[in-house]
Structure 1
Amino acid sequence: MKDPIHREQLIQLGNKYGTPLYIYDSEIIEKQYIKMKKAFSSVKNLKIFYACKANTNLNVLKFLQKLGSGLDTVSIQEVEIGLKAGFTSKNIIFTPNCVSIKEIKKAVHFGVRINIDNLSILEQFGGEYPDYPVGIRINPHIMAGGNYKISVGHIDSKFGISYYQIPHMKRILKNTGLQIEGFHMHTGSDISNIEYFLQGSKILYKIAMDFPNLDYIDFGSGFKVSYKKNDIQTDLTFLSNYMIEKFQYFCKNYGKIVTLILEPGKFLVSESGYFLVNVNVIKQTTSTVFAGVDSGFNHFIRPMFYEAYHGIENISNPNGRFRFYTVVGYICESDTFGLNRKISEIREGDILCIKNAGAYCYSMSSNYNSRYRPSEVMIFNGKDFLIRRRENMKDILRNIIEIQI
């Protein structure tokens, strides 16, 4: 995808708001949303629920709500942010894991859709709220995703109710009278082989046939976006053609048309994001040339946590001769953004742009080393808006209670 934001504009924004800085282009978010809608346009009962754990900035949520998206949440706090952003309760799905029944009760209070992913909570919930229909998250025992850390549908995963536990689940439903309104599946992120996705859908359809009053089938997400040139990405056309055919076949045999739900997160917002950092120092050792920047895994942990690849460009010197650099941060840890990368010559004071920074970047940031979290800016209708200010020492100390020692 061609960058709608030019290097000159990125540099201007870096100078205007300072670095490190997150920038989100709403035009790309809209293009991705429309792309998914078009791919599944022949499904009348399609509903897209944005998986907001990818990026929970209130303004990103408001923008997606205006586009017509629903909201997929995994914490009660995300539910509350979603309501504040303008989503109606029925357009919010709450799919937590390993939370207490107290948090589930709060979701009932807000009136949102709930997906339950373990038998203990299902039994407790059914005993107290037999008239509140819920969805069930199924673990299909499929190893899918970019790596083990982001694969969530395998047999050793904490997520979902094993499809081998369906008989036990049915007994709980019979004993409590609880009604099931849908089934949910999510096998992981960055799924490069869509056969895994299709395999999981077959399992959901098979389970769903035994439950006559369903309202939806929720296939989660995991759609892969491109992180570098010639990178593998999900072929939406192939996937949608296959899924639509099987979905329509299921509805025909099921005897009614149910809603097809998808929950893209990274797919919608990843490519919209740019992360600007300033080069503090060029440090040459006996074997490596380091470009040390004014950020670290306190702001951008994915390369260190998931070994995720993010493109890095020197926007201050795009025409410089290419050299090899290891781009590292200023945290007292081994925080490497990119190892041995071919980048146009980097000088101290240059601004580097790290790509695909719209998903799971700011949302996973911290104050490690007592560093401030950065600002966020959104480009909307060609104008830039500050949507989160940079933190300061007051923010670091706000919740600390000082005692006399």
Structure 2
Amino acid sequence: MMNAIECSINEKYLIQLTEKYGTPLYVYDTCKIKEQYRKMQKAFIGINKLEINYACKANTNLNILKFLKKIGGGLDTVSIQEIEIGLKAGFHPKKIIFTPNGVSIKEIRKAVELGVRINLDNLSILEQFGELFKHYAIGIRMNPHIMAGGHSKISVGHVDSKFGISYYQMPHVKRILKNTGLKIDGFHMHAGSDISDLHHFFSAYDVLFQTAMHFPNIDYINLGSGFKVSYSKEDLKTNLISLSHCIKDKFHDFCNTYGKNVTLIFEPGKFLVSESGFFLVKVNVIKQTTSTVFAGVDSGFNHLIRPMFYNAYHYIENISNPKGPFRFYTVVGYICESDTFGLNRKISEIREGDILCIKNAGAYCFSMSSNYNSRYKPSEVMIFNGKDFLIRKRETMKDLLRNVIEIKM
């Protein structure tokens, strides 16, 4: 194993990792994940019953899940497959919350069989569930009708969203509970991702607390997440301390009025793992056109789609030449379509063969990767206890053809 100073991943070390494992390469620093987890715990000191459940759709590598379990986290899942990975990682079923959207009652039946906690966000499924499993208490995912988030594609709590049951439909929910005998044990909400305006949080939380007050015998309030992380030195991020002061006041008021100390749950994904990740790519070509200097790398949106999908910003650094003079480059991938990681970026002089580091690559990067253009998915490495571990092998042609059935023609 290659030694490293824990919590101090520098350019030299990252380059050594590319020499050992090749490029493109994802690297995750567990020290940063732990730091973010403890930051949340510290912010919400004073909450008697607090759960921090990792929203694993951000990064489902088994070893990331095992590490979050090791430091005390629970798990937020959105598919049966994520539940099964969580169980393999060692989570107890009651430490796993399943909050699906648009799935059939068949998939929810499987979740019941696995014994996990369930949130439902659909009146039809709620009614079907009540007829089948009236003794299996569930949570309600509510839509607060709040437009919040860093991009329209990641705002999920507004009136036109497919997520959640509208708070205006709570009388219908009560009718289903009465007709079926179904019990609910909590309320859930998630308004969006990359929320920097605290007022959006406060407005959504007010709606949730007011709604939950009218339902007896609940055990938890789940506020989801949506906390924004910074993607550059100048970027905004959610002020967790200011947010926590308000949440604690609102939550304590709720518990006092409700007459019961319920559990407060958060489900951070990006907040926990985004800044832990580094995506390392090698520069194949420098291409000068009449208007632009392109740095073409050995990867593309098949490995990291966020810039093309969400217009997401990821800071890009030339770790092979960090002290070189600054130039302006457009960093592009090798996919046969428009494929841009960064447009007109000021980066220290890039040469063919240099290693570029794309920051904030721990969340929604590898997990959204594909084999488009029949390209292999890259390797993943975890830094744990000051050592590097290969946690996913680079794919081969065998992996691409594994499930293909060739017919005779």
Instruction: Please indicate the TM-score interval, normalised by the length of the shorter structure.
Output: over 0.9
Distance 2:75 2:243 in 1: 22
**C-alpha deviations, 1:202-249, integer Å up to 9, x for none?**
111111111110010000000001101121101111000010011001
Q: State the shift of 1:198 in Å.
A: 1.1
Give the residue type in structure 2 aligned to 1:38: K
- Alignment partner of 1:208 is 2:212: yes
Give the residue type in structure 1 aligned to 2:392: R
Give the match for residue 371 of structure 1. 375
- Alignment partner of 1:98 is 2:102: yes
Distance 1:4 1:285 in 2: 38
Distance 1:315 1:321 in 2: 13
Paired residue secondary structure (2:303): coil
Distance 2:7 2:360 in 1: 11
- Alignment partner of 1:128 is 2:138: no
Equivalent of residue 362 in structure 1, options 366, 381, 404: 366
Give the residue type in structure 1 aligned to 2:155: S
Q: How is 1:195-344 mapped onto 2 (pairs within 5 angstroms)? A: 195-344=199-348
**C-alpha deviations, 1:73-118, integer Å up to 9, x for none?**
0000000000000110000000000000000000000000000000
| Aligned residue pair count | 404
Distance 1:331 1:358 in 2: 22
The normalised TM-score by structure 1 is 0.99
**C-alpha deviations, 1:165-205, integer Å up to 9, x for none?**
11111111100000010000000100010111111111111
Distance 2:223 2:110 in 1: 25
Q: How is 1:139-150 mapped onto 2 (pairs within 5 angstroms)? A: 139-150=143-154
Give the match for residue 63 of structure 2. 59
Q: State the shift of 1:380 in Å.
A: 0.4
Give the match for residue 79 of structure 1. 83
Paired residue secondary structure (1:210): coil
Paired residue secondary structure (2:125): helix
Distance 2:234 2:296 in 1: 28
Give the match for residue 196 of structure 2. 192
Give the residue type in structure 2 aligned to 1:68: G
Give the match for residue 40 of structure 2. 36
Equivalent of residue 162 in structure 2, options 158, 173, 178: 158
Distance 1:144 1:209 in 2: 24
Give the residue type in structure 1 aligned to 2:255: C
Equivalent of residue 397 in structure 2, options 393, 396, 405: 393
Distance 2:259 2:395 in 1: 55
Equivalent pair of 2:7/2:29 in contact (CA under 8 Å): no
- Alignment partner of 1:383 is 2:387: yes
Give the residue type in structure 2 aligned to 1:244: K
Paired residue secondary structure (1:159): coil
Paired residue secondary structure (1:248): helix
Distance 1:369 1:308 in 2: 22
Paired residue secondary structure (1:241): helix
Paired residue secondary structure (2:228): coil
Give the residue type in structure 2 aligned to 1:284: Q
Distance 1:348 1:201 in 2: 51
Q: State the shift of 1:347 in Å.
A: 0.3
- Alignment partner of 1:24 is 2:57: no
Paired residue secondary structure (1:390): coil
Distance 2:198 2:379 in 1: 36
**C-alpha deviations, 1:236-287, integer Å up to 9, x for none?**
1100001001100110000000000000000000000000000000001000
Gaps of 5+ in 2: 1-5
Q: State the shift of 1:308 in Å.
A: 0.3
Equivalent of residue 17 in structure 2, options 13, 27, 40: 13
Paired residue secondary structure (2:87): helix
Give the residue type in structure 2 aligned to 1:194: L
Paired residue secondary structure (1:130): coil
Distance 1:222 1:3 in 2: 25
Distance 2:405 2:8 in 1: 46
Q: State the shift of 1:3 in Å.
A: 7.3
Give the match for residue 3 of structure 2. none
- Structure 1: which 4+ aligned runs deviate by more than 4 Å? none
Paired residue secondary structure (1:238): helix
Q: State the shift of 1:4 in Å.
A: 2.4
Distance 1:128 1:167 in 2: 21
Distance 1:52 1:244 in 2: 25
CA RMSD across the alignment: 0.8
Distance 1:227 1:69 in 2: 24
Distance 1:137 1:243 in 2: 19
**C-alpha deviations, 1:322-353, integer Å up to 9, x for none?**
00000000001101000000000000000000
Q: State the shift of 1:161 in Å.
A: 0.4
The normalised TM-score by structure 2 is 0.98
